[in-house]
């Protein structure tokens, strides 16, 4: 372990509506319309603030999810949902995922800045590029643009949004004439209390990491190994330095899929029971979706073919998220499992995002290890079932981190940007 650093771990929770596993809806703590119930959402905000969490994230979805591998096939608009939660909370950050591929920059800039006002400076935008052809068709497009074009558009989209937010501060029109957007406009919304809404970036491609280093305040990363996380952490921080920024200005928060129990055996039993309640094909379909290759066609008792592994890391391969694919590739290369062994492992180690099955104490150990090793500035936690998993984070995991001097005892700031800055401190040299 390295010497303790100043500052503290950042903790967010990815509110996957009901939980990240398809069987989450079967929890006795939920009812059939929980995701439509205003009380469900205000309770999420209240529990998050009880644990003094930095932020809660909510994804948008421009298409109906496949319930075979998506626990949350239907979703509400995150900016509307978080506006409701903002009225019932005072401190926790409210981050909405929104696509730069299928939105208009003026409309999105206004919606996010409006959320920032109703939350008194707690809004954030998690920038993503959409890759699904059915989503494109929902917007009248025959297919998604190529990956390179989507990231070029994303970089320009962010520039336009930032210029529009600046127009709210100065009262002067934003003038932009680029390859994708052409406008002379200014927002009529007043300027942000926190300067501007916070930017998170979720892409793991080289262009995505470069964009994060130049513009983002944080990265919602996909990491399966600590070694890979350290490498990607340093890469984004170097991009920040190259853009004339301090590396501390961009925070790295890997996603972490959680099944927690009072003992490791209880946590594994919980994970197994939830997986068994879901579709039998869940693991195969989720892996297929993540790597863009039909995993059901692979021989379960053979190792992954070399051509499949090469496709996973080939940036020209159109399927899946590059960040997820790279993490999965590194995990397979490290342990060299058969396909069946890998699918069994993903119950406990995650698929795309890293998984964790164990006790709150073991989770605190894991968070501390990655934090002190220079693999992360914190984590975006994703419980298997949100209805009880979030309470365990707030009431059991957070107190353990506080005892280790890794997390605050109370909020000292009341904006999302303030939370990020309060966590900054001296980074120990990674071992």
pLDDT attached to residue 51: 98
Domain annotation covers residue 194: yes
SS3 category, 292 = coil
60 is annotated as contributing to ligand binding: yes
Provide the strand spans (E) within 119-168.
Answer: 123-128
Q: Which residues contact 373 (CB under 8 A, 6 or more apart)?
A: 2, 226, 230, 430, 431
What pLDDT does 430 receive? 39
Task: Give the separation between CA 57 and CA 269, rounded to whole angstroms.
Answer: 28
CB 364 within 8 A of CB 404: yes
The stretches in the chain having pLDDT less than 50 are 1-5, 426-431
- CATH code, domain with 51: 3.20.20.30
CA dihedral of 182, 188, 191, 192, whole degrees rounded to 10? -80
The answer to the question of residue 66 being in a domain is: yes
Which residue in 75, 77, 80 sits closest to 115, CA to CA? 80
For residue range 325-364, what is the model confidence (pLDDT) as tens digits? Answer: 777 877 788 888 898 888 777 775 566 788 999 999 999 9
Tell me if 79 is assigned to some domain.
Answer: yes
In a domain, 168, yes or no: yes
pLDDT score, position 279? 76
Query: How far from chain centre, in Å, is Cα 224?
Result: 14
Asked if residue 182 is part of any domain, the answer here is yes
What per-residue confidence (pLDDT) applies to 318?
67
SS3 230: helix
| CA atoms within 13 Å, Cβ hemisphere of 49 | 21
pLDDT reported for residue 73: 60
CB 138 within 8 A of CB 62: yes
Q: Which helix (H) or strand (E) holds 220?
A: strand 218-221
**Total structural domains in the chain?**
1
Contact status, residue 296 vs residue 288, Cβ threshold 8 Å:
yes
Tens-digit pLDDT profile for residues 176-204: 999 999 999 999 999 999 999 999 998 77
**Cα dist. 315→41, 113, 132, 326, 424 in Å?**
38, 34, 16, 10, 33
Counting other chains too, the contacts that 131-136 makes at CB distance below 8 Å and 24 or more residues apart are 131/318, 131/320, 131/321, 132/62, 132/63, 134/63, 135/62, 135/63, 135/99, 135/102, 136/102
Asked, for residue 314, whether it belongs to a domain, the answer is no
Residue 97 is labelled as binding a ligand:
yes
- Quick one: pLDDT at residue 312? 78
| Residue 272 falls inside a structural domain | no
Domain annotation covers residue 15:
yes
CA distance 234 to 216: 15
Cα 305 to Cα 307: distance, rounded to the nearest angstrom: 5
The helix/strand/coil state of 139 is coil
3-class DSSP assignment, residue 214: helix
**What range defines the domain where residue 56 resides?**
10-261+354-422
* Predicted pLDDT of residue 64: 73
CA distance 306 to 291: 14
Q: Is 151 among the annotated ligand-binding positions? A: yes
Identify the pLDDT of residue 332. Answer: 84
- Burial of 302 (C-beta count, 10 Å sphere; 0-12/13-18/19+): exposed
Give dist(CA 94, CA 407) in Å, integer.
19
Distances (CA, A) of 341 to 47, 132, 192: 37, 29, 50
Query: Residue 35: is it exposed, middle or buried by C-beta count within 10 angstroms (0-12/13-18/19+)?
Result: middle
């Amino acid at each position: 372990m390295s010497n303790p650093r100043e500052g503290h771990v950042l903790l967010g929770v990815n509110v996957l509506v009901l939980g990240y596993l398809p069987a989450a809806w079967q929890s006795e703590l939920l009812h059939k319309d929980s995701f439509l119930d205003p009380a469900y959402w205000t309770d999420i905000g209240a529990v998050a603030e009880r644990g003094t969490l930095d932020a809660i994230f909510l994804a948008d979805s421009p298409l109906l999810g496949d319930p075979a591998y998506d626990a949350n096939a239907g979703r509400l608009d995150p900016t509307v949902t978080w506006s409701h939660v903002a009225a019932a909370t005072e401190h926790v950050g409210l981050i909405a995922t929104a696509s730069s591929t299928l939105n208009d920059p003026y409309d999105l800039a206004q919606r996010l800045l409006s959320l920032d006002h109703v939350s008194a400076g707690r809004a954030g935008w998690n920038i993503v590029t959409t890759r699904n052809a059915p989503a494109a068709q929902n917007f009248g497009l025959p297919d998604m643009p190529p990956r390179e074009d989507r990231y070029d558009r994303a970089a320009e989209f962010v520039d336009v949004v930032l210029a529009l937010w600046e127009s709210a501060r100065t009262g002067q029109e934003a003038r932009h004439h680029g390859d994708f957007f052409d406008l002379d406009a200014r927002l009529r919304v007043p300027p942000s209390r926190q300067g501007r809404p916070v930017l998170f970036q979720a892409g793991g491609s080289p262009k995505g990491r470069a964009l994060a280093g130049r513009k983002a305040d944080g990265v919602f990363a996909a990491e399966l190994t600590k070694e890979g996380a350290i490498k990607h952490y340093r890469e984004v921080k170097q991009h920040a330095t190259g853009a004339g920024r301090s590396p501390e200005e961009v925070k790295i928060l890997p996603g972490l899929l959680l099944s927690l129990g009072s003992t490791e055996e209880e946590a594994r039993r919980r994970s197994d029971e939830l997986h068994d309640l879901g579709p039998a094909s869940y693991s195969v379909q989720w892996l297929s979706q993540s790597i863009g290759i039909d995993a059901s066609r692979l021989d379960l008792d053979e190792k992954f073919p070399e051509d499949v592994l090469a496709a996973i890391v080939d940036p020209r391969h159109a399927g899946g998220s590059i960040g997820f694919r790279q993490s999965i590739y590194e995990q397979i290369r490290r342990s060299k499992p058969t396909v069946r062994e890998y699918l069994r492992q993903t119950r406990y180690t995650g698929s795309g995002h890293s998984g964790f099955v164990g006790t709150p104490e073991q989770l605190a150990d894991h968070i501390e290890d990655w934090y002190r090793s220079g693999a992360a500035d914190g984590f975006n936690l994703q419980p298997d079932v949100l209805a009880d998993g979030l309470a365990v984070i707030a009431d059991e995991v957070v107190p353990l981190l506080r005892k280790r001097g890794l997390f605050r005892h109370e909020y000292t700031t009341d904006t999302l940007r303030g939370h990020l800055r309060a966590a900054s401190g001296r980074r120990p040299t990674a071992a």
